[in-house]
Amino acid sequence: NFTPNAFVEEIVAEMKAKIGNDKVVLGLSGGVDSTVAAVLLNKAIGENLYCIFVNNGLLRKNEFENVLNQYKGMGLNVKGVDAGERFLSELAGVSDPETKRKIIGRVFIEVFDDESHLLEDVKWLAQGTIYPDVIESVSVKGPSATIKSHHNVGGLPDFMKLQVVEPLRMLFKDEVRRVGASLGIDPELLGRHPFPGPGLSIRILGDITPEKVRILQEVDSVFIEGLKSWGLYDKVWQAGAILLPVNSVGVMGDERTYEKVVALRAVESTDGMTADWVHLPYDFLMKVSNDIINKVRGVNRVVYDISSKPPATIEWE
C-alpha cells in the first residue's frame, strides 16, 4: 500500500535535510526516472538543482527541442547541451554494437564532466536510479542513461567523485509513475515508452551517418505518431524502427528504385526481460507502411518483426 503523497512528503524532507544549501547536478534523459527525480529534488532544493540534458544526436525526431521546452515549462533549472555532432563524429565508421555503446557512454561522460566543471561548488550528483537498477547494478548491455558506477575509482571524472543522491532507489517503475502523477507531471511524459541510452545508434545496423539518422528519425516518427493516432501507443510497451544495412529493389512510377529497408518492432512486456511481439492490426500496418514509403525519401520497403524474446532480443543490436 504505497502512497505517493506520503512518499513525496517524506523524501522531500529527507533530501532537504541531507543536502542543505549545497548544489546538486543531475543528468536528464527525457525518460520517466530522471524526470521524476529532478522534479522531486526541485521541490526540495529549488534553484540549487542544476539539470543537464545532452543531445547525443541519436534521439527521436525533434525530441531534444520538445523535451527541453517541456522541462523549462516545468520550472526546472535545465541546460540543454547539443553535442550531436561530437557523438556522430566519434561514431563515424563504427559498426560493432558494443563499440557503439562504449563510445556513447564515454562521450556522454566527457560532455557531462565538461558541463559540470562550468558549475562551481557542486557537492552532489543526483541520479534517477530505481530499485531494479540497484539490483542489476551493472547493465548487461553497457551504459544506460543513468551513470553506473562500475568504473575504476582512480580514473573517475570529477563529477563522479561527488556524493551521490538517488531519491527513487527504493521504488519500482509503477511507483515512480504514481509519484510523477502526484507531482503533476504530464501523463504523456509519464507514459512514454522506454528508450535505450545509446538511442538510435543501436537501431541503425552497421555504421552510422547523419543521413541514416535522418531517415530513421523520419520513419520512427511516422510509426510512433501512427500508433498514437490509432490509439495503440498505450497498448504497447515499447516500439521503434530499425534501419537495415541492405537495399532492396522497388518500383516508383516507371522507375526502378534501389533503396533502404526498415523493420518495425512493437512489443508487449513488463520488465523488458521477456517480450512478445504485438499483433498490430493489419489495417494499421498497411497504412503505416504506405505512409513511411511515401513520406520518407530513401526507403522503399517496410517489414514487421515477429520475433519474441527469448530467443530474439527487443533491440536488434
Give the whole-angstrom CA distance, residue 9 versus residue 83: 36
In this complex, which beta carbon is closest to ligand XMP, that of residue 86 or of residue 192? 192
What is the DSSP secondary structure assignment for residue 204, as one 8-state letter?
B
Binding residues for ATP, as ranges, are 29-35
Position closest to ligand XMP via CB: 144
Stretch that binds ligand XMP, among 1-9, 56-64, 161-169, 192-200 (CB under 6 A): 192-200
Residues 272, 285, 298, 304: which binds ligand XMP (CB under 6 A)?
272
User: Looking at 56, 238, 289, 300, which residue binds ligand XMP (CB under 6 A)?
Assistant: 238
Are the beta carbons of 42 and 77 closer than 8 angstroms?
Answer: yes
Query: Do 180 and 35 touch, CB atoms closer than 8 A?
Result: yes
User: CA-CA distance, 317 to 307, in Å (whole number)?
Assistant: 14
Size of the site for ligand XMP (CB under 6 A): 15
User: What's the rounded Cα separation, in Å, for the pair 209 and 298?
Assistant: 14
Question: What is the bridge-based pairing of β-strands 163-165 and 238-252?
Answer: unpaired
Query: 303: part of which helix (H) or strand (E)?
Result: strand 299-304
Cite the annotated binding site by residue number: 29-35
Residue 101 is a binding residue for ligand XMP (CB under 6 A): yes
Contact range with ligand XMP by CB under 6 A, out of 33-41, 48-56, 137-145, 285-293: 137-145
CA distances (Å), origin 272, targets 70, 239, 265: 27, 12, 14
Dihedral angle sign, alpha carbons of residues 41, 16, 175, 104: positive
Angstrom distance (rounded) from CA 165 to CA 126? 5
Establish if 173 lies at the interface with ligand XMP (CB under 6 A): no
- Nearest approach in angstroms of CB 204 to ligand XMP is 14
314 lies in the binding site for ligand XMP (CB under 6 A):
yes
**Residue whose CB is less far from ligand XMP, 160 or 312:** 312
Q: Which of 102, 141, 173, 287 binds ligand XMP (CB under 6 A)?
A: 141
Is there binding between residue 128 and ligand XMP (CB under 6 A)? no
Contacting positions for ligand XMP (CB under 6 A): 101, 141-142, 144-145, 194, 196-198, 238, 272, 309, 313-315
